């Protein structure tokens, strides 16, 4: 197992190098002049020229790339051209907000999606099944920003007679008026660690709507995959054998159906975890959560090259690690994978 | 049978969840009300204001953006302030000042009852310490993206030898004289910029304020600029959670009107819709840059709208690199074809004023004596015919996805003007670009544009800060070469006093109006929105808004 993990980790190195080159080129292929984006509306030609020289935007691409990689190998990701904050610090600041959100969104999607998919499959062909499939289709096609707006309207601001539903906040990670300390940056965890229960509860409430908005697409996908997998497995010979042996229905479901059906589901959850990081770009902006996603959003609009490059590389690395975790989990669920 | 029992169980569970949720909702509402009340020991409450971005740093000398200045104005004060509700200079840390006839020496008489947040006294030595600090910046600290305003206004540093700052002398404890080596009529006005705030010499030294690390393209601010800003203002810095909020507390030993609120919090919410929703939901008490489309619905819902006197200009520029636009008759025709009142009613907030020249009437040099071009479609057609441009086709550039205080909804403004131009027979080719950087790149950095929308909000009350910025030299934006205008502006800039400058700028405004490089459209009103509980917020055209007068009732 250890060898497997080490080998997989070693394999991510060439992937990251390739990605860094692609990223470097892609960022520079974005339309617009970064120096002008930095200096704003009334930049003089001289100052544009100065900044271009300063950041080396006028040097040949390969030279810029090697300078960048050289610094990177020393752990220097550069700093934002907009605010002068080091990229590493920006990442550290934004990470807890995004991790919290992605975790809750995934939790929401998995905890709700797996049972829903399971029951839909077990009630195959019934109205419950049709409803679940239909609703999950809606979940995939509805745009995140629209859903976010709807959620805010109904569950935060409140409309007409449904005003009592409006109990959640619309923006931020915690009520501005709460003076809480944040030793880790994960607000819910911080509240628990410092025993400031109000703060933890408040941070949790700030997570609900964004997590639902972000988790809807993964939820819909998980429902459909689980349902399909369970249907598949239910038709297998070993399930029929188990039934013929007279095993209890619950035992069959737990030990034979669900366990075998989980394999594709785990893959899906893993892939969704990676996608959540990109989905967070929109969700965080709409809910003003100011994490990695919204920082990335600003970096794109302002052509902040160092932030763009650093963030996307880091996200790619996380994606690779998540996939590795999923592969390791395979072994836990399915001994056949472990053997091979 | 089994199936039935399951659905019953499911229904029961669902019901239980619903009850629990409803319970949550109730208890939650109660908590919310309790928290809003301020929790006992806080008497004056908390004022939460939403900003569109984080400050860059907490030391305003290192910044030039509005959000950094918004926070800085609560913590710091400069020698000169502004008259409430105007852009005119007013005493602040200096009670009065006198400038010599040659415009080189200005003597400030300081208030005697002021102390910094760290308990250090404010006096003439502190003033000179600050001026000398700016003047002696070296290396990294001279770069434009850090110390923009000092570099721009004083034009150089001790070791560059190009600056106009000569010296600062403490005549006695509360009299300081600043000597320049060239006259600069905008000196007093410029001193009202937060970049020239007075900071505590002791704190600057203790926290190594100028120890800015890194390379020029990779700046690391000092601990002073991120954790220990120390000024004389009505609020003391408490904490800055990057990306989330800045928290300020009342300064009880403030020399002026001590703040009513205990705490002021500036929260970062970059999305305009999210700011509005946060206000509607009671999470914040106010926000800036209200979209014109939201004004009515917010007012109807009982929120307060506060307007700033406009200190800006929205114009339609005409690029004379386009051969047809180099003909003044075509430019005059376009000016006659535009119905500014209609543009305002169709696309700008209520209360916006029609513009006749490229500066608001609060700025020195504004004059009613300029050529105006009445809305007259027949005259426009005539002029086009005279110029032989009956079949004129023009590229019309406008930005998308942006809202500036002087241009809240560019798409709608474009639609309004487009139909007016088409009404006199001009064919319009619309070209839309994303605001930053594509649009700005195209209209200010290339020749590939025809007529376009742009504008400007003034930094401080200075004529050159408007017309000088636009027409000071040949640019890609306007595409004309007018040496007469360029030299008139150059000359006006060098005049020693405001009194002598005013007529020069009046002449310049007339000259520009006759030359019609573009059509000044309007001075749109920027709006702020507040919860019904908020009172005492004083809006300022140059955003000199200090929150010591704000109250938040329960």
Instruction: Please give the domain boundaries of chain A with CATH numbers for all domains.
Output: 87-339 (1.10.3720.10)
Q: Which of B428, B420, B413 is nearest to B346 (CA)?
A: B413
pLDDT at B22 over 70: no
Residue A155: Cβ within 10 Å count: 20
Q: Rounded distance, CA B461 to CA A306, Å? A: 37
Distance from the A6 Cα atom to the nearest Cα atom in chain B, whole angstroms = 35
Distance from the B500 Cα atom to the nearest Cα atom in chain A, whole angstroms = 27
Taking contacts as CB-CB distances below 8 angstroms, the residues of chain A near B22 are 164
Looking at residues A95-103, what average pLDDT do you find? 92
Q: Which of A32, A78, A74, A75 is nearest to A55 (CA)?
A: A78
Distance from the A263 Cα atom to the nearest Cα atom in chain B, whole angstroms = 27
Surface of A (109-128) touching B: CB under 8 A: none
DSSP A269-318: HHHHHHHHHHHHHHHHHHTT--SHHHHHHHHHHTT-HHHHHHHHHHHHHH
Do B273 and A165 make contact, defined as CB atoms within 8 angstroms?
no
Please report the pLDDT score of residue A337 as a whole number: 66
Helix A144-152, helix A197-234: angle, nearest 10: 130
Please report the pLDDT score of residue B39 as a whole number: 37
Q: How far is CA B35 from the centre of its chain?
A: 33
Q: With cut-offs at 50, 70 and 90, classify the pLDDT of residue A158.
A: confident
* Helix, coil or strand: residue A172: coil
Q: Rounded distance, CA A182 to CA A192, Å? A: 11
Please report the pLDDT score of residue B29 as a whole number: 34
pLDDT-above-70 percentage for chain A: 96
Is residue B217 less than 8 Å (CB to CB) from chain A? Answer: yes
pLDDT at B469 over 70: yes
Q: Is pLDDT larger for residue B459 or for residue B71?
A: B71
Q: With cut-offs at 50, 70 and 90, classify the pLDDT of residue A338.
A: low
Looking at residues A26-35, what average pLDDT do you find? 77
* Helix, coil or strand: residue B175: strand
CA nearest to B242 within chain A: A93
CB B335 within 8 A of CB B341: no
pLDDT at A108 over 90: yes
Distance from the A96 Cα atom to the nearest Cα atom in chain B, whole angstroms = 12
The overall average pLDDT reported for chain A is 85
Looking at residues A305-323, what average pLDDT do you find? 86
Is residue B23 less than 8 Å (CB to CB) from chain A? Answer: no
For the stretch B158-196, pLDDT in tens is: 988 889 999 999 999 999 999 999 888 889 999 999 999
Looking at residues B220-232, what average pLDDT do you find? 90
Please report the pLDDT score of residue B32 as a whole number: 35
- Which of A209-223, B41-55, B494-508 shows the lowest per-residue confidence on average (mean pLDDT)? B41-55
Taking contacts as CB-CB distances below 8 angstroms, the residues of chain A near B216 are 54
Query: How many residues comprise chain B?
Result: 554
pLDDT-above-90 percentage for chain A: 24
Taking contacts as CB-CB distances below 8 angstroms, the residues of chain A near B441 are 32-33, 36
**Tokens 């770009």 -> residue:** A281
Q: Which of B293, B402, B304 is nearest to B348 (CA)?
A: B293
* Helix, coil or strand: residue A216: helix
Taking contacts as CB-CB distances below 8 angstroms, the residues of chain B near A54 are 143, 216-217
Please report the pLDDT score of residue B461 as a whole number: 87
Surface of A (58-77) touching B: CB under 8 A: 76
Please report the pLDDT score of residue B219 as a whole number: 66
CA nearest to B442 within chain A: A32
Structure tokens at B168: 């600062």
Q: Which of A319, A320, A264, A265 is nearest to A5 (CA)?
A: A320
Do A177 and B220 make contact, defined as CB atoms within 8 angstroms?
no
Please report the pLDDT score of residue B215 as a whole number: 63
DSSP B18-74: HHHHHHHHHHHHHHHHHHHTTTTT-SS-EEEEEESS--S-S-GGG--SHHHHHHHHH
CA nearest to B275 within chain A: A171
Q: Rounded distance, CA B413 to CA B540, Å? A: 25
Q: Is pLDDT larger for residue B20 or for residue B237?
A: B237
Please report the pLDDT score of residue B37 as a whole number: 36
Looking at residues A6-10, what average pLDDT do you find? 82
Structure tokens at B5: 């029992």
Query: What residue spans of A142-258 are helical by DSSP H?
Result: 144-152, 187-193, 197-234, 237-244, 249-251
pLDDT at B349 over 70: yes
Please report the pLDDT score of residue B43 as a whole number: 67
pLDDT at B34 over 70: no
H or E segment and range at residue A81:
none
CB B84 within 8 A of CB B540: yes
Distance from the A283 Cα atom to the nearest Cα atom in chain B, whole angstroms = 11
Q: With cut-offs at 50, 70 and 90, classify the pLDDT of residue B200.
A: very high
Question: Dihedrals φ, ψ of A26, to 5°?
Answer: -60, -45
Q: Rounded distance, CA B427 to CA B437, Å? A: 27
CA nearest to B38 within chain A: A177
Is residue A169 less than 8 Å (CB to CB) from chain B? Answer: yes
Do A54 and B220 make contact, defined as CB atoms within 8 angstroms?
no
* Helix, coil or strand: residue B531: coil
Q: Rounded distance, CA B52 to CA B123, Å? A: 35
CB-nearest to B445 from A33, A34, A165 is A33
Please report the pLDDT score of residue B18 as a whole number: 40
Q: With cut-offs at 50, 70 and 90, classify the pLDDT of residue B214.
A: low
CB-nearest to A288 from B270, B280, B438 is B270
Please report the pLDDT score of residue B11 as a whole number: 42
Please report the pLDDT score of residue A228 as a whole number: 92
Most B-contacting residue of A71, A75, A94, A171 (CB-CB within 10 A), to test interface: A171
Is residue B221 less than 8 Å (CB to CB) from chain A? Answer: yes
Taking contacts as CB-CB distances below 8 angstroms, the residues of chain B near A286 are 271, 273-274
The overall average pLDDT reported for chain B is 88
CB A80 within 8 A of CB A90: yes
Please report the pLDDT score of residue A315 as a whole number: 85
Q: How far is CA A274 from the centre of its chain?
A: 5
Looking at residues B362-373, what average pLDDT do you find? 93
Distance from the B254 Cα atom to the nearest Cα atom in chain A, whole angstroms = 23
Is residue A301 less than 8 Å (CB to CB) from chain B? Answer: yes
Pairing relation of β-strands B263-268 and B46-51? parallel
- Which of A11-25, A99-113, B357-371 shows the lowest per-residue confidence on average (mean pLDDT)? A11-25
Most B-contacting residue of A29, A30, A32, A115 (CB-CB within 10 A), to test interface: A32
**Tokens 């131009």 -> residue:** B421
Beta bridge partners, B528, equal B306
* Helix, coil or strand: residue B182: coil
Looking at residues B125-134, what average pLDDT do you find? 97
Taking contacts as CB-CB distances below 8 angstroms, the residues of chain A near B219 are 79, 84
Taking contacts as CB-CB distances below 8 angstroms, the residues of chain B near A55 are 217
- Which of B187-201, B207-221, B381-395, B470-484 shows the lowest per-residue confidence on average (mean pLDDT)? B207-221
Distance from the B453 Cα atom to the nearest Cα atom in chain A, whole angstroms = 13
* Helix, coil or strand: residue B329: helix
Q: Is pLDDT larger for residue B494 or for residue A83?
A: B494
Looking at residues B411-425, what average pLDDT do you find? 95
pLDDT at B20 over 70: no
Please report the pLDDT score of residue B12 as a whole number: 42
Long-range Cβ contacts of A323-327 (<8 Å, 24+ apart): A323/A270, A323/A271, A323/A274, A324/A5, A324/A8, A324/A9, A324/A12, A325/A270, A326/A266, A326/A267, A326/A269, A326/A270, A326/A271, A327/A4, A327/A8
Please report the pLDDT score of residue B411 as a whole number: 92
CB B517 within 8 A of CB B8: no
């Amino acid at each position: 197992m250890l060898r497997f993990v080490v080998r997989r980790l070693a394999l991510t190195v060439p992937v990251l190098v390739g990605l860094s080159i692609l990223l470097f080129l892609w960022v520079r292929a974005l339309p617009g002049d970064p120096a002008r984006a930095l200096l704003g509306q009334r930049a003089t030609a001289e100052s544009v020229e100065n900044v271009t020289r300063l950041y080396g935007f006028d040097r040949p691409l390969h030279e810029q790339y090697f300078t960048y990689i050289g610094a990177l190998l020393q752990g220097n990701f550069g700093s934002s051209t907009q605010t002068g904050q080091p990229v590493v610090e920006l990442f550290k600041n934004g990470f807890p907000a995004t991790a919290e959100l992605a975790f809750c969104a995934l939790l929401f999607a998995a905890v709700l999606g797996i049972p829903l998919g399971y029951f839909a499959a077990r009630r195959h062909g019934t109205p419950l099944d049709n409803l679940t499939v239909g609703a999950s289709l809606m979940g995939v096609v509805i745009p995140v920003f629209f859903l976010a707006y709807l959620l805010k309207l109904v569950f935060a601001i409140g409309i007409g007679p449904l005003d009592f539903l409006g109990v959640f906040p619309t923006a931020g990670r915690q009520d501005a008026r709460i003076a809480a300390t944040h030793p880790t940056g994960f607000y819910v965890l911080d509240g628990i660690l410092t025993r400031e229960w109000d703060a933890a509860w408040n941070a949790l409430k700030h997570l609900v709507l964004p997590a639902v908005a972000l988790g809807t697409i993964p939820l819909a996908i998980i429902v459909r995959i689980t349902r399909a997998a369970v249907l598949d497995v239910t038709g297998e010979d070993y399930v029929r054998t188990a039934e013929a042996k007279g095993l209890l229905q619950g035992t069959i479901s737990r030990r034979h159906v669900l366990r075998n059906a989980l394999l594709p589901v785990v893959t899906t959850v893993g892939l969704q975890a990676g996608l959540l990081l990109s989905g967070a770009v929109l969700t965080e902006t709409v809910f003003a959560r100011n994490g990695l996603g919204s920082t990335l959003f600003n970096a794109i609009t302002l052509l902040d090259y160092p932030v763009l490059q650093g963030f996307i590389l880091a996200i790619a690395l996380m994606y690779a690690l998540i996939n590795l975790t999923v592969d390791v989990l395979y072994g836990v669920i399915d001994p056949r994978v472990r053997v091979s | 049978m089994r199936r039935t029992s399951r659905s019953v169980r499911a229904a029961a569970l669902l019901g239980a969840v619903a009850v629990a949720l409803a319970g949550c909702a109730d208890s939650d509402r109660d908590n919310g009300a309790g928290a809003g009340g301020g929790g006992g020991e806080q008497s004056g409450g908390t004022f939460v204001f939403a900003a569109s971005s984080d400050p860059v740093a907490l030391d305003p000398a290192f910044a030039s953006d509005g959000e950094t200045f918004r926070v800085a104005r609560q913590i710091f004060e400069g020698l000169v302030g502004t008259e409430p509700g105007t852009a005119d200079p007013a005493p602040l840390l200096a009670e009065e000042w006198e400038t010599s006839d040659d415009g080189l020496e200005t003597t400030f008489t300081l208030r005697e009852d002021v102390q910094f947040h760290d308990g250090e006294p404010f006096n003439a030595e502190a003033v000179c310490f600050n001026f000398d600090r700016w003047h002696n910046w070296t290396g990294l600290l001279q770069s434009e993206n850090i110390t923009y305003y000092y570099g721009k206004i004083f034009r150089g540093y001790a070791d560059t030898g190009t600056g106009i700052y000569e010296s600062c002398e403490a005549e006695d404890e509360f009299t300081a004289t600043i000597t320049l080596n060239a006259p600069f009529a905008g000196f007093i006005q410029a001193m009202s910029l937060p970049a020239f705030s007075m900071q505590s010499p002791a704190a600057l030294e203790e926290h190594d304020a100028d120890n800015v690390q890194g390379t020029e393209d990779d700046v690391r601010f000092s601990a002073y600029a991120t954790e220990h800003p120390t000024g004389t203002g009505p609020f003391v810095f408490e904490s800055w959670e990057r990306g989330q909020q800045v928290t300020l507390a009342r300064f009880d030993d403030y020399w002026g009107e001590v703040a009513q609120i205990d705490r002021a919090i500036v929260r970062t919410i970059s999305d305009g819709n999210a700011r509005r929703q946060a206000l509607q939901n009671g999470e914040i008490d106010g926000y800036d840059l209200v979209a014109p489309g939201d004004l009515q619905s917010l007012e109807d819902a009982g929120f307060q709208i506060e307007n700033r006197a406009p200190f800006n200009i929205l114009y339609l520029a005409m690029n004379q690199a386009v051969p047809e636009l180099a003909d003044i008759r075509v430019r005059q025709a376009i000016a006659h074809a535009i119905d500014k009142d209609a543009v305002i009613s169709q696309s700008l907030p209520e209360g916006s004023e029609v513009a006749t020249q490229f500066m608001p009437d609060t700025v020195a040099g504004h004059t009613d004596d300029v050529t105006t071009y009445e809305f007259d479609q027949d005259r426009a057609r005539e002029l086009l015919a005279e110029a032989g441009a009956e079949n004129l086709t023009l590229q019309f550039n406008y930005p998308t996805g942006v809202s500036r205080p002087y241009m809240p909804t560019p798409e709608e403004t474009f639609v309004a003007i487009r139909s007016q131009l088409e009404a006199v027979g001009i064919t319009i080719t619309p070209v839309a670009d994303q605001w930053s950087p594509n649009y700005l790149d195209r209209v200010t950095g290339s020749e590939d544009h025809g007529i376009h929308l742009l504008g400007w909000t003034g930094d401080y009350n200075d004529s050159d800060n408007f017309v000088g910025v636009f027409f000071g030299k040949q640019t890609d934006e306007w595409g004309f070469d007018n040496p007469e205008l360029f030299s008139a502006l150059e000359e006006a800039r060098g005049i020693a006093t405001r009194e002598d400058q005013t007529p020069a700028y009046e002449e310049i405004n007339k000259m520009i109006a006759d030359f019609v490089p573009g059509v000044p459209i309007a001075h749109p009103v920027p709006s702020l929105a507040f919860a019904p509980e908020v009172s005492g917020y004083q809006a300022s055209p140059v955003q000199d808004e200090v929150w010591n007068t704000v109250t938040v009732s329960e």
